[in-house]
Structure 1
Amino acid sequence: MDFAGALSADHLKFLADGFWVTLSIAFISILLSFIIGILLGTLRYAQIPVVSRVVAIYVETIRNMPLLLIIFFTFFALPEVGIKLTVTQAAITALTVFESAMLAEIVRGGLNSIDKGQIEAARSSGLTYIQTLWHIVMPQALRRMVPPIVSQFISLLKDTSLCVIIALPEFMHNAQIIYAQNVNYIIPIFILVAFMYFIVNYALSLVARRLESRQA
């Protein structure tokens, strides 16, 4: 093992660049998947004829596919039908599609957890269905959904490492380039990579636990 060579200043900078890409991709994908997930989950909960059924089929299809397959599809298959994406765009698209389906199910479950009596009371007081959903159901459901949503975001951050398969210059990609230079770099680099992922994900898990304790 060569810790000094593996963790040289140049290598650390290269890894930091990859880690920044990982965090950037994760942040954008989290933001987009959160917005889309809430929309899909709400549409599925609302039981709108045809629309809710189509959304349900879409969500269940995506949720039961491996993320790696979706990444391959966005990067290699879409160009065959004229949709060409850069590596970064393909990674964000794949992660967003997959995670939004996961979040949609969390949102639907959160909305279903709200007592139906509150909905009936709101409707009887003169509120429309949309007003009831927006002002009564959604605020309560979001508070209950925060812990599982944060947990899903932790999974998304870890899932960015799968994008190494399409040569996205993220953390694991750059780590592979470094330890490919010297077999003695493998263990030091793996230790550092594991430590960095642990720090970020553990911090997010603490946030999830804190939010969950507040809901108890």
Structure 2
Amino acid sequence: MNWSGAYTWINLNYLLQGLWITIQISVISIILSSIFGAILGIIRYSKISKVSAFVGFLVDIVRNLPLLLILFFSYFGLPQIGIRFSTFSAAIFAFTIFESAMLAEIFRSGLEAVDKGQTEAARSNGLTYLQTLRYIVFPQGLKKMIAPIVSQFISLVKDTSLATIILLPDLMQRAQVIYGQDTNYMIPIFILVAATYFVVNYLLSLFAGFIDRRLKN
């Protein structure tokens, strides 16, 4: 097995470029899905007549669709109605849509986990609904959301590898290109890619643990 041939600087540099794309996709999708997920989760929590039910219906649809199907639709389906994305934009669109739905449920569950007495006490002390949500419910609910949110982010980083199906030149796709040139490189490249995903996700989990401890203090 030619391990040294697999780990040439050219191959490593090629993979690093793919890792950078993976990180960009992940970070942008995490930011956007966090914003949209929080908005959708709050709408569901607020029980706004008909609006909350409609949002819940859409969220349930997306949550029960395969991410791969959403990727296919974003890159191959939308052009049929005149909406064209690059592979990079299509991946961000698909991941944001999917993760927003997943996070919406996490936000809703976290907010509903806060003792109703907290809300009643805040309202009886003159706080408006939005003030109660902002200063009382959301901060307490956030502490309960950290673990599942980070778990979802870790899943997102791993799921970016699915974007190879639309030829996004990320870490996984570039790994396929390398071992496609020489099948002897397959195992060493797989080991390197697996180690890279592990390090990225492990650092993310450590950061989450730090944030969790800060919130509990």
TM-score with structure 2 setting the length: 0.96
With 2-11 and 140-149 compared, the bigger mean Cα shift is at 140-149
Report if the CA contact (8 A) 2:44-2:108 is conserved: yes
Shift of 1:120: 0.6
Distance in 2 of aligned mates of 1:16 and 1:212: 30
Structure 1, gaps ≥5 residues long: none
Shift of 1:173: 0.5
1:25 aligns with 2:61: no
May I ask how many residue pairs the two structures share in their alignment? 216
Identical-pair percentage: 56
Report if the CA contact (8 A) 1:106-1:149 is conserved: yes
Give the partner amino acid of 1:126.
G
Aligned pairs for 1:72-111 within 5 A = 72-111=72-111
In the alignment, which residue of structure 2 is the partner of 1:68?
Answer: 68
Report if the CA contact (8 A) 1:151-1:208 is conserved: no
Shift of 1:131: 1.2
TM-score with structure 1 setting the length: 0.96
Report if the CA contact (8 A) 1:119-1:137 is conserved: yes
Give the partner amino acid of 2:182.
N
Distance in 1 of aligned mates of 2:148 and 2:207: 11
Report if the CA contact (8 A) 1:63-1:101 is conserved: yes
Aligned pairs for 1:1-216 within 5 A = 1-212=1-212, 215=216
Runs of 4+ residues over 2 Å off in structure 1: 205-216
Shift of 1:78: 0.4
Report if the CA contact (8 A) 2:63-2:98 is conserved: yes
Distance in 1 of aligned mates of 2:207 and 2:84: 38
Report if the CA contact (8 A) 2:6-2:188 is conserved: yes
Distance in 1 of aligned mates of 2:209 and 2:126: 38
